[in-house]
Amino acid sequence: MPTATLVQQHQKKALTAKQEVCRMLGMNEQEYAEHQYAQGLSYLQWYLPNNRKGRSILERSKLYWNWYKVMWNAREEVYLMHIGDMHEMLLDKKKWLYRELHASYNVITDTKPPYHVTSVLFKKEKEVAYE
């Protein structure tokens, strides 16, 4: 049987983490996806606060969303690793920690998209007005 590619391994790991988070926090997949999407948009607001057109371009960028999901999955692993040691923690506290870990105002301090993700802004330089 052929071995899974690295991408397939990451996808499987991300799916397993998502399922574990949903189970642990009592979320369904729709709620999870909506939260992830809302945080991705919020991140853009923090990352480009004075550039509405730039946010709009990245919001429609497959590169941005792929990068954002990779960063999200890395934070999921950290959350699951730490929360696993805290079985007695109240559900409300687990949810609060989860929201804080993914909150854009926390993520923006140490996570910036690489050039290949933001290069679309420079390619459309004439269209991007800082408003």
The predicted model gives 13-36 an average pLDDT of 94
- Whole-angstrom CA distances from 52 to 48, 56, 122 are 7, 6, 14
Q: How confident is the model at residue 36 (pLDDT cuts 50, 70, 90)?
A: very high
Share of the chain above pLDDT 90, in %: 48
Task: Determine the Cα–Cα distance for residues 10 and 130; give it in Å rounded to an integer.
Answer: 36
Residue 22 has pLDDT above 70, yes or no: yes
pTM flag (> 0.85): no
Task: Determine the Cα–Cα distance for residues 92 and 100; give it in Å rounded to an integer.
Answer: 12
The alpha-carbon radius of gyration of the chain (Å, integer) is: 17
Query: Exposed, middle or buried by CB within 10 Å (0-12, 13-18, 19+), for 109?
Result: exposed
- Whole-angstrom CA distances from 110 to 16, 34, 39, 67, 101 are 25, 23, 15, 14, 12
pLDDT at 8: 86
Spatial contact of 10 and 72, defined as CB atoms under 8 Å apart: no
Task: Determine the Cα–Cα distance for residues 14 and 10; give it in Å rounded to an integer.
Answer: 6
Task: Determine the Cα–Cα distance for residues 101 and 78; give it in Å rounded to an integer.
Answer: 9
List pLDDT tens digits, range 61-110.
999 999 999 999 999 998 898 887 676 778 888 888 888 888 887 888 77
